[in-house]
Structure 1
Amino acid sequence: QPQKPKIVLVPVDFVLQGPQVGQLVSALTKLAQRSDVAGLVLVINSPGGTVSDTEALYTALRGINKTKYAVVTGLAASGAYYVAVAAERIYATPSSWVGSVGVIAVLWPEEYLYDIPDYIYTTGPLKYYGRDLTDYYNDIERVRLNFVEAVLRGRAGRIRTDPAVFETAAVFTADQAREMGLIDKIGGVFDAVDDMAKELGLKQYSVVYIGEAANASARQSGAAWRVYLSQLLNSTPFPMFYLYPAALQLDVRTDGRRNATLPTFPTDRPYVVLDMAHGNMVPRSFVEVLRAELAARGHVLVAASNENQLTTLLGNATALVVVNPTAPFSRDAVAAVVNATARGVRVAYFYDMRASAIVTISGISYVAPYSAFAAFDPLLMYFNMSGLRAVYNFTAGGDTYLRNWQFVAVEPRGNWSLLRGVTRLVLFSPSAVATNAPHRLTARGYVFGYGEGNYTVAAQTGNFLFIGSVRSFTPYFITQGDNWQFLRNVVNWLTEPREIKKLAKPPTSGVIYVSG
Structure 2
Amino acid sequence: MKLDWKPVKTKDTPLPDPSHPEWERALINRLVLEYLADQRRRQRWSLILKLGVLLYLIGLLIVASLPAVTDLTKINEEHTALIEVNGILAPEADASAERIIAALRAAFENKHVKGIILAINSPGGSPVQAGMIYDEIKRLKEKYQKDKGRDLPVYAVAIDLCASGGYYVAAAADAIYVNPASLVGSIGVRLSSFGFQKAMEELGIERRLLTAGTNKGILDPFSPLPEPQRAFLQRVLERLHQQFIAAVKAGRGERLKGGDELFSGLFWSGDQAVELGLADGLGSASQVAREQIGAEKIVEYSKKRDLLDALTRRFGAMMTLGFIEALGLGGEGLARY
- TMscore range, shorter length: 0.5 to 0.7
Aligned partner of 1:7 in structure 2 is: 80
Of structures 1 and 2, the one with the larger relative CO (CA 8 A, separation 6+) is 2
Aligned counterparts of 1:236 and 1:192: Cα–Cα separation in 2: 38
Post-superposition shift, 1:236? 6.5
* 1:142 has 2:239 as partner: yes
Matches within 5 A, 1:176-325: 176-198=272-294, 206-211=297-302, 216-217=303-304, 239-242=334-337
- Asked if the contact 1:76/1:98 (under 8 Å) is kept, the reply is yes
Aligned counterparts of 2:301 and 2:187: Cα–Cα separation in 1: 27
Matches within 5 A, 1:48-127: 48-65=124-141, 66-108=152-194, 117-118=209-210, 120=211, 122=212, 124-126=213-215
Aligned counterparts of 2:333 and 2:118: Cα–Cα separation in 1: 27
Deviation per residue, 1:29-60 (Å, 9 max, x gap): 33333333332101112211122222222222
Aligned counterparts of 2:248 and 2:160: Cα–Cα separation in 1: 19
- Asked if the contact 1:77/1:171 (under 8 Å) is kept, the reply is yes
Which SS does the other structure have where 1:104 is aligned?
coil
| Amino acid across the alignment from 1:62 | K
Aligned counterparts of 1:219 and 1:96: Cα–Cα separation in 2: 29
- Asked if the contact 2:192/2:333 (under 8 Å) is kept, the reply is no
- Asked if the contact 2:106/2:301 (under 8 Å) is kept, the reply is no
Return closer, same or farther for 1:165/1:26 CA change in 2, 3 Å cut-off.
same
- Asked if the contact 2:88/2:125 (under 8 Å) is kept, the reply is yes
Aligned counterparts of 1:145 and 1:236: Cα–Cα separation in 2: 23
Post-superposition shift, 1:110? 7.0
Post-superposition shift, 1:64? 2.1
Return closer, same or farther for 1:167/1:195 CA change in 2, 3 Å cut-off.
same
- Asked if the contact 1:18/1:235 (under 8 Å) is kept, the reply is no
Matches within 5 A, 1:147-162: 147-162=244-259
Which SS does the other structure have where 2:158 is aligned?
strand
| Structure 1: unaligned runs, 5 residues or longer | 221-227, 243-516
Return closer, same or farther for 1:14/1:2 CA change in 2, 3 Å cut-off.
closer
| Structure 2: unaligned runs, 5 residues or longer | 1-73, 142-151, 198-205, 220-227, 308-317
Aligned counterparts of 2:207 and 2:135: Cα–Cα separation in 1: 39
- Asked if the contact 1:13/1:44 (under 8 Å) is kept, the reply is yes
Which SS does the other structure have where 2:240 is aligned?
helix
Which SS does the other structure have where 2:250 is aligned?
helix
Post-superposition shift, 1:197? 2.2
- Asked if the contact 1:109/1:133 (under 8 Å) is kept, the reply is no
* 1:167 has 2:167 as partner: no
Percent of aligned pairs with the same residue?
26
- Asked if the contact 1:45/1:73 (under 8 Å) is kept, the reply is yes
Post-superposition shift, 1:134? 2.0
Return closer, same or farther for 1:45/1:108 CA change in 2, 3 Å cut-off.
same
Deviation per residue, 1:395-428 (Å, 9 max, x gap): xxxxxxxxxxxxxxxxxxxxxxxxxxxxxxxxxx
Aligned counterparts of 1:105 and 1:53: Cα–Cα separation in 2: 16
Aligned counterparts of 1:219 and 1:98: Cα–Cα separation in 2: 30
- Larger Rg over CA atoms: 2
- The structure richer in helix per residue is 2
- Asked if the contact 2:289/2:297 (under 8 Å) is kept, the reply is no
Deviation per residue, 1:452-474 (Å, 9 max, x gap): xxxxxxxxxxxxxxxxxxxxxxx
- Asked if the contact 2:80/2:115 (under 8 Å) is kept, the reply is yes
How many pairs does the alignment contain?
219
Which SS does the other structure have where 2:336 is aligned?
strand
Aligned counterparts of 1:115 and 1:73: Cα–Cα separation in 2: 46
Post-superposition shift, 1:138? 0.9
| Amino acid across the alignment from 2:288 | A
- Asked if the contact 2:189/2:241 (under 8 Å) is kept, the reply is yes
Aligned counterparts of 1:78 and 1:235: Cα–Cα separation in 2: 22
- The structure richer in strand per residue is 1
Which SS does the other structure have where 1:91 is aligned?
strand
Aligned counterparts of 2:306 and 2:116: Cα–Cα separation in 1: 16
If the length of structure 1 is used for normalisation, what is the TM-score?
A: 0.38
Deviation per residue, 1:172-226 (Å, 9 max, x gap): 111111111110001111221123324xxx6xx7310114xxxx43689xxxxxx
- Asked if the contact 2:177/2:284 (under 8 Å) is kept, the reply is yes
Greater than 6 Å deviation, 4+ residue runs: 230-237
- Asked if the contact 2:192/2:332 (under 8 Å) is kept, the reply is no
Aligned partner of 1:42 in structure 2 is: 118
